[in-house]
Chain A
Amino acid sequence: MTVSVKRRRAKILPQQCVACGTCLDVCPRGALSIFHGSFAQVDITRCVGCGLCARECPAGIIKLEVIE
């Protein structure tokens, strides 16, 4: 029997990000940062896929993707 563990992590669409920094404020793991004032980026080693950033993003451009 094989068990597949599904995890989630945040995925940001950089072209549509307005770099407001709302996601930085809510991330409990400090997994998000703003790349030179241009767009938000996710540190996938820190992201636990809690979805708080996706919930707060005013533009709704943070999605949670499922990883195997």
Chain B
Amino acid sequence: MKIQQHWYHNLWLWSILYFSLGFVNILFALLGLISFCLPLLFAIFGGNKLFCNRYCDRGQFLRFFGSKLGLSRRHDIPDWMHSNIFRYGFMIFFFAMFGGILYTTWLVYMEINSLSEVVTLFWCLEFPWSWAGTTAVSPAVAQFAFGLYSLMLTSELIALAAMLYYRPRAWCTFCPMGTLTQMICKRKIATKG
């Protein structure tokens, strides 16, 4: 029984392209907003998780490298890691960090702080990233791009580590966007009765 291949199985290429482009010019990091908006649109208007199920580039990336290339060690994920407490806790933490990015952007916009051309990994490790900086847009937009790229790269590294040790798509069990969209879908069912 052969599993049918679809075009969206190649979306893992988008993940690689996204992080490569952000290495060249930080403005490309803004494309990461697609990964924020699309799942929400699917959940709010469609009442489904079609983005997670098919079109998530990270999901396809983890599937390709973990499952198809066999890089995953396939250990069982601990129960706490897909428990509601951890999932919702991580989602709140993740969006609090996103709020921090917006706040930093605001400070730069108000000229209280100057543009910080660094990529912050795991919310504390700062790496200089000035070669990807740009003067084509306002410092606030560039600051937001640096923040978004930091968030995307941090979550990608967590997803990669989870893929290597646990099952290929272990990240999906506690992905903040997945948790949020599932919450929206469940709420929609509840309101429909």
Contact = CB atoms under 8 A, between A and B. Distances in A.
B54 A21 contact: yes
B59 A37 contact: no
Q: Which of A21, A34, A36 has the most CB of B within 10 A?
A: A21
Interface string B58-102: 010001000100000000110000100001000000000000000
B170 interface: yes
B173 A19 contact: no
Contacts, number: 92
Given A37-B47, A38-B185, 20 more contacts: A16-B82, A19-B182, A21-B49, A22-B168, A22-B172, A26-B3, A28-B2, A29-B1, A36-B189, A37-B49, A37-B184, A37-B188, A38-B189, A56-B169, A58-B167, A58-B169, A58-B171, A58-B172, A59-B173, A60-B167
Contact of A22 (B63, B82, B181, B184): B63
A19 B52 contact: yes
A58 B170 CA distance: 5
Contacts of A27: 3
Interface string A26-52: 111100001011100000000000100
Interface string B156-193: 00000000001111111101001101101110110000
B3 A18 contact: no
A20 interface: yes
Nearest to B192: A36
Contacts of B59: 20-22
Contacts of A60: 76-77, 167
B135 interface: no
A25 interface: yes
Interface of B: 1-3, 42-43, 46-50, 52-54, 59, 63, 67, 76-77, 82, 87, 166-173, 175, 178-179, 181-182, 184-186, 188-189
Interface residues of A, number: 23
A24 interface: yes
Nearest to B167: A58
Contacts of A18: 82, 87, 172-173, 178-179, 182
Given A28-B1, A59-B173, A37 B82 contact: no
A57 interface: yes
